[in-house]
Amino acid sequence: MKGTKGFTLIELLIVVVIIGIIVTIAIPKYSSIKQKAYVTSMVSDLKILVSVEEAYFSDYVTYTTQTSSLNYIASPGNTITVTAASGSGWSATSSSTTTSKTCGIFVGTATPPAGVSVEGSPTCQ
């Protein structure tokens, strides 16, 4: 069988090892990118909530803690909780079933959620 062509066992093992190394590097990167996407989704929901709360304020001259009154639905997997609302401000937090991080935002004189220091700017921790 001198004329047969093909790969030797060593060549095939080397290819399998190289693929294993690439997968070992790629999986943590993929997880990190997914985590960033979930956090970005929560931040986006909070930014939309700012607009919706301001529209509610223009109609009723107060803010509300009831997201159902705002006709607002968060992204799938995200939960938005308006923790405080009055005629002078509001605060809210966002969490997700897909990450352990939480994000928060406040506007006006409302008590900021933990870790949030800049008014109107969503912050995650």
Q: Where are the domains of the chain?
A: 13-124
DSSP state of 64: -
Supply the pLDDT for residue 28: 85
Supply the pLDDT for residue 3: 65
Q: Which helix (H) or strand (E) holds 78?
A: strand 78-85
Query: How far is 21 from 18, CA to CA, in rounded Å?
Result: 5
CB 52 within 8 A of CB 72: yes
Phi and psi for 74 in degrees, rounded to 5?
Answer: -75, 165
Supply the pLDDT for residue 101: 94
What burial class does residue 68 get, using C-beta atoms within 10 Å of its C-beta: 0-12 exposed, 13-18 middle, 19+ buried?
exposed
**Which residues of the chain carry a pLDDT beneath 50?**
none
